[in-house]
Amino acid sequence: MSEQKNENMNVLESFSLKGKVALLTGGAGLYGRQIVAALAEAGAETYIASRNLEALEKVASEERARGYNVSALKLDLEDEKSIFNLRDGIMKRSGRIDVLINNAVTRSAMNGWDNPMEAFDRSLRVNASALFVITRLFADEMKKQKCGSIINIGSMMGMSGIEMANYDGTDMNPNPSPIYHYEKGGMINFTRWAASILGDYNVRVNCVSPGGYWISTHPAQFVKNYSARTQLGRMANDTDLKGIIVFLASDASAYLTGANIPVDGGYTAK
């Protein structure tokens, strides 16, 4: 069993990530960009990794210009050797890993149900098999330290079916695929499984399930339909994930593991 601790830490200080090393897969996308900023602003030495190194370097440069410690590294989640190389590189440079955020995702086989098996298999290789491998590798390092926080970025689509009414009155022609719902739903239960396996080592595993992110190209009717489906009456913005990420990555959430937290404006509460 993990050692029980009773430390008198100031509550605001418990949210700090100073002295911690964090890895975020992805980092240049809609949610990834604000996660990078959250980790950096909270004081973490932050690595961001994906196939698109050029896009990540731009993000890292922007954060370094703000005075934060952010580095971009190459990662191809389809290539198991690339995952091992990422682990080895970070451990060589920093000597530890305190936070892993599984955010990168492939969106192949997203258009329709009638994809060939090969298309679904490719999606599952990145969004499921690679998730298992990267989590195990970095959890092994956290186990040696007897501490760590793993955060899986899921989706409210892993908690609900497709809402076709969101597209009413628009020129959008949705052709939904089961794969994303399947993978994100599985991620939630993988989170519970990994939390069970790693709890004795004081390694915590939680999942965040964001809702839909507003972008300027969305049809106004879609935004209206979707927003009406939420309790807060709006889509997500470019800061809505920052607080929950810092909370889960930090010692402020030291007694929280195996949880899935919807950050969806109440979409899944209706």
Residue 224 has pLDDT above 60, yes or no: yes
**pLDDT for the residue 4:** 56
In a domain, 3, yes or no: no
User: Rounded to two decimals, what is the model's pTM?
Assistant: 0.96
Mean pLDDT for 132-145 is 98
Residue 216 lies inside a defined structural domain of this protein: yes
pLDDT number for residue 50: 97
Give the contacts of 223 (CB within 8 A, at least 6 positions apart). 214, 235
Q: What is the 3-state secondary structure (H, E, C) of 48-82?
A: EEECCHHHHHHHHHHHHHCCCCEEEEECCCCCHHH
pLDDT at 7: 64
Q: What is the pLDDT of residue 6?
A: 55
Segment 101-121 shows an average pLDDT of: 92
**Is 1 domain-assigned?**
no
> Residue 128: pLDDT above 70?
yes
Q: What average pLDDT score do residues 32-44 get?
A: 98
**Gap between the Cα atoms of 131 and 195, Å rounded:** 14
Question: Is residue 1's pLDDT more than 60?
Answer: no
Pair of tokens at residue 64:
């370094």
- 138 domain-assigned: yes
Q: Residue 181 sits in a domain of what CATH number?
A: 3.40.50.720
Residue 111 has pLDDT above 70, yes or no: yes
Residue bearing tokens 């990994």: 194
**If you count DSSP H runs as helices and E runs as strands, how many of each does the chain have, helices first?**
8, 7
The pLDDT confidence band at residue 108, using thresholds 50, 70 and 90, is confident
State the average pLDDT over residues 95-113.
93
For position 239, what pLDDT does the model report? 97
- β partners of residue 152: 102, 207
pLDDT at residue 173 above 80? no
Using the predicted structure, report yes or no on whether residue 2 has a pLDDT greater than 70: no
Burial class (CB in 10 A: 0-12, 13-18, 19+), 154: buried
Q: Would residue 57 count as lying in a domain?
A: yes
In a domain, 169, yes or no: yes
pLDDT band at 3 (very low <50, low <70, confident <90, very high): low
Q: What is the mean pLDDT of residues 200-210?
A: 98
What is the arithmetic mean of pLDDT over 132-147? 98
pLDDT above 90 (res 46): yes
Q: Give the closest residue to 235 by CA, choosing from 258, 261, 212, 207.
A: 212
Residue 24: which residues within 8 A CB-CB, separation 6 or more?
A: 32, 35, 36, 39, 46, 47, 48, 49, 101, 103
Is residue 4 in a domain?
no
pLDDT of residue 107: 85
| Full domain range(s) for residue 166 | 13-269
In the chain, how many domains are there? 1
Average pLDDT over residues 246-259: 98
Confidence of residue 139 (pLDDT cuts 50, 70, 90): very high
pLDDT grade, residue 8 (50/70/90)?
A: confident
Q: Are 100 and 135 in contact (CB under 8 A)?
A: yes
Query: Is the pLDDT reported for residue 56 higher than 70?
Result: yes
Split at pLDDT 50, 70, 90, the class of 5 is low
Looking at the domain assignment, is residue 7 inside a domain? no
